[in-house]
Chains A and B, each alone.
Chain A
Amino acid sequence: MHFYIQTIVGSLAFGSVYALVALGVVFIWQSMNILNFAHGQFLTLGTYIAVVTLHQGMDWPLWLAILAALGFVGLLGALFSKTVYERIRAQPSLVVIIATMGLSLIMENSALLIFGPRPRAFAGFFGRAMIWVGKVGFLGNHLIALGIAILILAILSMLMKYTMVGKIIRAVAYDKDTAGLMGVPVFRFLACTFAVACILAVIAGILVAPVTYISIDMGTGIGTKAFAAMVIGGFGSIPGAIVGSYLLGLLEGLGTIVVGSVYRDAIAFVLAVLVLLLRPYGLFGSPEKARV
């Protein structure tokens, strides 16, 4: 029984990591109509900069390193949004997908060149410390990941709902033309959205780094699973992405017990395909209406 509780908490920790990444992908999808295949690469890049370069390499304190990396990747995201994503936004989805795949290829291989192929270990905030509740032990890093992710999701939803910036971001996502007529600098806020999405991915990367290793392909794996989570929850819906992520995390964790750790990565994709077959708009989505 204890084993199952531990597994569930660990799975939910992974689920919250997927949720942060998937939320960023949904933001970009809603505001720009782009499925960002390069999103995982922002995660890899930010995690490497924060942990490997600044914290381990240059001995910065962890919080400062993380803040610096968040700022850097946010700026980078805004820059990419301005230079690349804005240009391809109006293209057919085929072109957009190939372009973002190309960008992901560039970023992944650049990271490989800069940081080298060797995976790095990262102790995180707790190392391998366990927290015991009665007879059930939880890995400190799992709890941290779960807690911080939920905190960030809560803060973000508050910001989106009650602050002016959040309102503008939602307005831009909803209708760019009308928002522009209201005097909103639309493209600046698109870049802003993109930066927020990238920062979320980096936070996810830093939260998951102590549990897994930091490696070049960590972003690709988590990014594609975030897509799977989006598909499961309902594509393009924020609650769908979050619920889908936690559901995916749980099913992945429990499914691993059944099929073995070897096929752990396959679970997400098989689930996504099954969901698409049975309910193409996801568990919480609504059928898409064709516009003529």
Chain B
Amino acid sequence: MMKMRRRIISDANTKRLRFYNKLKIAIICSVLILACLLPPLLVETIYYLRVIVAIWINAIVALGLNFCVGVCGQISLGQAAFVGTSAYVLAILVTKQGAPWILAILVSLISVVFLGLAVGLVSTRLRGPYLAIVTLAFNLVFVIVLTNELNITGGPFGIRVNPPQVLGLTIDVKLMYFLAFGCLIALYQLGRVVYFSKIGRGFRATRDDELAARVMGINTVMTKTQAFMISAIYAGIAGVLQTLTYRFIAPTSFTVIQSFRYLAMVVIGGMGYLPGSIVGAAIVTVVPELFRGLAGFWDIILGSTILAILLFFPKGAGFFPEYFKSLIARSKVEERWTGEIDISDI
């Protein structure tokens, strides 16, 4: 990729414009990141902090799901089950087995990776509607098991865990804020690296035309499994963060509806557009908190929004990518075509 980009022939003027665009993006990003670090220092109300932490956690799930749905084109209606698995494994290990937190976190992440591998291996044999039904079934069965295995999962009453202590440090909401935000930034950067790597190109090729990708020598079975595993890992990390933050988990947080909300974040932010997932997560998380009185209407509004986006922006790409790009990079950089499209400002 890097080699290819260097081969792009451009004159001094386009180089300058390109540099300014990059600078602009860098400045905007660093200002945004700094602004995101402020709330725990300024806000004292734990409720607001928790809502923002929820944004970061949901954004991590949405990023992972975007790899599966947006980048690789594989529908997954069971994302909440991945989140739930790591959240529950962590909570069960800590409360029932008395395991140390670090160990429990590691085990829960590993268990999610294996679950992602298993679901991925099953799912790669299936396409379109079959895949949707299997992932949906996976989530439904997951919730049925959670609700009925009272001895292990606490059933509908969920599990309450004590304030987590990692390395002798008690984790409160403020610390969680930085932890979740740090995870999000790190995972976003990791996501960008993956997106532009060989694996990411395999994802996109598989999404655009699976047969053509196979003809080009891409192992699509492997590629799709990788996509499922990436989304599972992201969801697993989010699940761990969720347990650490809320210290209470119940089956209602991991239903199919919740999976659909994660999907809504991806669709609203733009399928295949990574920064969009963060914006989508922010919208889907914050808006219902703003309009608490309209609780009954919220899912109707969410559904209508999704439907409207899919109907009127038929590619299902959402409207954010184009808008952001036009906002930041006003001056179009012209380049002579060398065979590689430059998508570096995504």
Any B CB within 8 A of the CB of A272: yes
Q: Which chain B residues lie closer than 8 Å to A266 at the CB level?
A: 140-141, 144-145
Q: Which residue of A lies closest to B136 (CB)?
A: A224
Cα(A108)–Cα(B310), bound, Å = 19
Name the distance in Å between B275's Cβ and chain A's nearest Cβ.
20
A-side interface size class: 35 or more
A-B CB pair tally, cutoff 8 Å: 130
From the candidates B75, B145, B302, name the one contacting A105 in the complex (CB within 8 A).
Answer: B302
Q: Which of B8-16, B51-59, B99-107, B125-133 contacts A (4 or more CB under 8 A)?
A: B125-133
Proximity bits, B125-169, A CB within 8 Å = 1, else 0: 111111011101110110011001000000000000000000000
Q: Which chain B residues lie closer than 8 Å to A37 at the CB level?
A: 132
From the candidates A87, A94, A228, name the one contacting B311 in the complex (CB within 8 A).
Answer: A87
Q: Is the CB of B137 within 8 A of A88?
A: no
Any B CB within 8 A of the CB of A112: yes
Q: Which chain B residues lie closer than 8 Å to A101 at the CB level?
A: 77, 260, 263, 306
From the candidates A94, A106, A235, A292, name the one contacting B130 in the complex (CB within 8 A).
Answer: A235
Cα(A181)–Cα(B310), bound, Å = 30
Cα(A159)–Cα(B314), bound, Å = 36
Q: Which chain A residues lie closer than 8 Å to B306 at the CB level?
A: 98-99, 101-102, 105
Cα(A35)–Cα(B129), bound, Å = 7
Q: Which chain B residues lie closer than 8 Å to A224 at the CB level?
A: 133, 136-137, 140
Q: Which of A88-132 contact B (CB under 8 A)?
A: 88, 91-95, 97-99, 101-106, 108-110, 112-113
Q: Is the CB of B148 within 8 A of A263?
A: yes
From the candidates A94, A104, A290, A292, name the one contacting B316 in the complex (CB within 8 A).
Answer: A94
Q: Is the CB of A102 within 8 A of B307?
A: yes
Cα(A103)–Cα(B307), bound, Å = 7
Q: Which chain B residues lie closer than 8 Å to A112 at the CB level?
A: 296
Q: Is the CB of A94 within 8 A of B75?
A: yes
Any A CB within 8 A of the CB of B297: yes
Q: Is the CB of B140 within 8 A of A97?
A: no
Name the distance in Å between B141's Cβ and chain A's nearest Cβ.
5
Any B CB within 8 A of the CB of A71: no
From the candidates A35, A93, A97, A273, name the one contacting B137 in the complex (CB within 8 A).
Answer: A273
Name the distance in Å between A116's Cβ and chain B's nearest Cβ.
10
B contacts, CB < 8 Å to A: 69, 73, 75, 77, 122, 125-130, 132-134, 136-138, 140-141, 144-145, 148, 211, 257, 260, 263-264, 267, 271, 296-297, 299-300, 302-304, 306-307, 310-311, 314, 316
Q: A105-B306, A113-B296 are in contact. List 17 more A-B contacts (CB 8 A).
A: A29-B129, A87-B314, A95-B314, A97-B128, A97-B129, A98-B75, A98-B263, A101-B77, A102-B307, A103-B303, A224-B136, A224-B137, A262-B148, A263-B144, A265-B144, A266-B141, A266-B144
